[in-house]
Amino acid sequence: MKVLVIGANGQVGHQLVEKLKDKGHQPVAMVRKEEQVEQFKEKGIDTVLGDLQKDFSHAFEGVDSVVFAAGSGGDTGADMTVLIDQEGAIESVDNAEKAGVKHFVMLSSMGADAPKEAEQMQHYLYAKHRADEHLKASGLDFTILRPGMLTNDSGTGKVRLFEGGTEIAEIPREDVANVLAHIVDTNKPQGKTYYLHEGDTPVEDTL
């Protein structure tokens, strides 16, 4: 499958494109800058230049599945959270729908179900919430993934994937990438929202 990964230059996105390639798919890394292309090319991974703040609809041509894994990160202001995490995601959904994409996978966040109850990062959680709601209201087949607190630990390949619940737990970014790759590979969108923590179940046995 041709899989567009939006935010491929991010920590999760980077690992995701490699894992998708290992599974025999054709990932396309969407990156914003020309200088970000080479690192993917070296690994035989296709790229497409696309900027979430401009028109990036060209990136969706012929794409089977999309993973939105972009984020403005912690170094920019809340204005960028609106422009990237919220509006970039919403426009990605709209672009995917127009292009006839078959499965849209949204990398969301724990807490995005109830931002008002959060004690911090409310504006970020609202941005993620609005993007998730927009996806749910679209005509797309989708999967939403809400991981716990992201760490840079090495992945274990074992996780806890569940629907609902409000507990807080950690999850290595690499295992988030493992699960995203598994969701794409399994390719059975059921319009579900999953939460993801570290756990005991091999990623391949989830879903």
- Interface residues with its own copies (CB under 8 A) are 53, 77-83, 86-87, 115-116, 122-123, 126-127, 130
- Whole-number minimum distance, CB 28 to its own copies, in Å? 23
Catalytic residue check, 124: yes
Is the Cβ of residue 47 or residue 109 nearer to its own copies in the bound state?
109
- Whole-number minimum distance, CB 98 to its own copies, in Å? 16
Is the Cβ of residue 2 or residue 123 nearer to its own copies in the bound state?
123
**Dihedral angle over CA of 64, 189, 87, 68, nearest 10:** -60
Q: Where are the alpha helices (DSSP H) in the chain?
A: 11-22, 38-41, 78-80, 87-99, 122-137, 173-186
Catalytic residue among 124, 126, 194, 195: 124
Is the Cβ of residue 44 or residue 137 nearer to its own copies in the bound state?
137
- Whole-number minimum distance, CB 138 to its own copies, in Å? 13
How wide is the angle at C-alpha 43 spanned by C-alphas 42 and 49, nearest 5°? Answer: 75
Residue bearing tokens 């672009």: 95
Q: What is the DSSP letter of 32?
A: S
Is the Cβ of residue 50 or residue 172 nearer to its own copies in the bound state?
50
Q: Backbone dihedral region of 98: left (phi > 0), alpha (psi from -120 to 50 degrees) or beta?
A: alpha
d(CA 129, CA 157): 27
- Whole-number minimum distance, CB 55 to its own copies, in Å? 9
What residues are labeled active site? 124
